[in-house]
């Protein structure tokens, strides 16, 4: 499923981060300062697009996914986008689920 995100109407509560010329991700305004420390880009994974960045951790380059960072997703869990829009990274749209619960949420189990 290819989804082109049309920028939301700006409010005091919502901010956008540009990922490339066509795509933005929507976040809570309160997260903007912390997230702006990274260079975010668009990455396709299966049929979805995600906001990702690279960072150094213990001397190794790692890729981080914005939604997992915002939701503070623990290892072994999946971060689910409740409205299935993978570029809507507002806290109200993110839910940490076990791998099995995440599969069920997508109708795969």
In angstroms, how far is CA 90 from the centroid of its own chain? Answer: 8
Low-confidence ranges of the chain (pLDDT < 70): 1-11, 109
- Cα separation, 57 vs 10, in Å, equals 34
* pTM of the shown model: 0.83
Contact status, residue 17 vs residue 25, Cβ threshold 8 Å: yes
Tens of pLDDT, residue by residue over 35-66, are: 999 999 999 988 899 999 998 888 999 999 99
Mean of per-residue pLDDT scores for the chain: 88
Model pLDDT, residue 20: 92
CATH T-level fold of 14-105: Homing Intron 3 (I-Ppo) Encoded Endonuclease; Chain A (3.90.75)
Domain parsing of the chain, residue ranges: 14-105
């Amino acid at each position: 499923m290819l989804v082109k995100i049309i920028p939301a109407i700006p409010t005091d509560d919502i901010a956008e981060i540009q990922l490339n010329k066509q795509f933005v991700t929507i976040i809570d305004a309160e997260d903007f300062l912390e997230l702006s420390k990274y260079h975010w880009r668009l990455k396709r994974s299966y049929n979805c697009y995600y906001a990702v960045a690279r960072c150094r951790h213990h001397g190794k380059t790692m890729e981080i996914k914005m939604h997992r960072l915002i939701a503070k997703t623990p290892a072994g869990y999946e971060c689910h986008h409740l409205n299935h829009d993978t570029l809507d990274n507002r806290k109200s749209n993110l839910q940490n689920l076990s791998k099995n619960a995440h599969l069920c949420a997508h109708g795969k189990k």
